[in-house]
Copies of this chain bind each other. A is one copy, B any other.
Amino acid sequence: MRLLALLCTAVFVSAPAFAQGPSISPISPRVDIEPYRDIVEQIIEAATSDSAAYNRLAYLGDVFGHRLSGSQALEDAIDWILDEMEADGLSNVRGQPVMVPKWVRGDESAILVLPREENLPMLGLGGSISTPEEGITAEVIVVGSFEDLEARASEAAGKIVLFNVPFTNYGETVQYRLNGATAASRAGAVASLIRSVGPFGMQTPHTGTMRYADDVEPIPHAAITIEGAALLQRLADRGEQPVVTLKMDAHFEDDVLSRNVIGEIRGTELPDEVVVLGGHIDSWDVGTGMMDDGGGCVVAWEAVRLLHDLGLQPRRTIRVVLWTNEENGLRGGTAYYDSVMVSGQLENHVLAIESDGGVFAPVGFGFGGSDEAFAMLEPIAELLDPILSEGSRGQKGVTRGGGGADIGPLMREGVPGMGLNTDSDEYFWYHHTPSDTIEVLTPDGVQRCVAAMAIMAYVVADMPGRLPVTPVGD
């Protein structure tokens, strides 16, 4: 009910048409960007005049390394950020407690033993069980899809199933990482492998989360490289019956206390209304998680730090949240959502912005929410224009469709959400790999992302009218 009321209120705000009569225009008021031109110029100038965010990000990676949920490195990084945010002068800096899973990779390997011995570079998938200590040695059956496995299920018993599935798009191909072990186990396989989820690699395995259906016997599940999968495919095609020894020590330990990191600039007029922006501070246990998603965290944090340094205090509160455990649990996003619901603050969430697509050169924001809210925001694209790249997929500016995993629970309740879009054609080259390091990013791209995040957060937090929260189902 209150949500619906808010929605109706929203369309009245600062819409010139309404001054002339009581009838409700079907056209929502668009934000008047004129008052923000000078401020935006200041933001852009400040964000792009140095490499502060890029340097802070590199420091995060260099000093703490990767930050898997449950690791000491993650908590050390969080401690450092909390201290830095305090030193930056942000308000209400705090860690929000979250219990997170602790999955530990341990030693692991995949060795082709027949027809000849060759090491197959690999990464176990997050959540997988281990093999026995001596490993699992079995013939590999290579399939091209779930359907292919079903058709050949009678051949799979006692074997290692390899899903050699070329990358099409993440949503489609990641199904084999998520559910491959379940399908292989149902067919009687003793372990499962996938071709890494990515369009290009240099003998690079990609890790990521996986799960078992409740009704199957868990079996070890790991990713090999594009090259490794192609080798096994060719051997199988020639009838050479490749045999692989897979060894994995992977296991879960007890859940561990982690934290979402929160800091704010309090609003001047409507401090209870909040624009949230952030990324996730956990990463996989390879590389340094600079692209996924240290960069998303730092650009959100630096956007707020920069607004604070410029003395720009908007009408509403701007809150940076660095969620924990996005990668293998989403416990941080869930805990934040739970706290919002428990405290009855949902309707105060005007907008949630997530950056989790790599802080390459920004091309704009993808918006998930009502048409009314979209229409209000669209003019902000003009303010962003000086720092946006063209992008290769026509998504420049503020476009329909977007959000993020951590803000998903809020968005499902009707909070408008946005994802920062970047010129990230190579994102899935590096995603969840040892080469997700600072070298894939540039100072220019990172600093422009800071500007984009700061502009969007500031304007939405300050504009006279607020975005409508759209109840689910509307």
Contacts and interface: CB of A to CB of B under 8 A. Distances in A.
A201 B434 CA distance: 11
Contacts of A437: 203, 227, 230-231
A293 to B, nearest CB: 18
A287 B203 contact: yes
Contact of A202 (B63, B64, B234, B433): B433
A219 interface: no
A238 B437 CA distance: 18
A47 B284 CA distance: 47
A244 to B, nearest CB: 14
A278 interface: no
A429 B62 contact: no
A118 B65 contact: yes
B227 A121 contact: no
A99 interface: no
A190 to B, nearest CB: 24
B230 A438 contact: yes
Interface string A110-126: 00000110100100000
Contacts of A433: 202-203
Given A227-B435, A434-B121, A202 B429 contact: yes
A454 B298 CA distance: 57
B116 A434 contact: no
Interface in A42-77: 58, 62-65
Among A121, A204, A235, A435, the most chain B Cβ lie within 10 Å of the Cβ of A435
A430 interface: yes
Interface string A286-311: 01000000000000000000000000
A156 interface: no
A226 interface: yes
Nearest to A435: B202
A379 to B, nearest CB: 40
A79 to B, nearest CB: 15
A439 interface: yes
Interface string A352-387: 000000000000000000000000000000000000
Among A235, A287, A439, the most chain B Cβ lie within 10 Å of the Cβ of A439
A201 B202 CA distance: 8
A226 B235 CA distance: 33
Contacts of A429: 202
Nearest to A66: B118
Nearest to A119: B434
Q: Top 6 closest A-B pairs, CB basis?
A: A202-B435, A203-B435, A203-B434, A202-B202, A227-B437, A202-B204
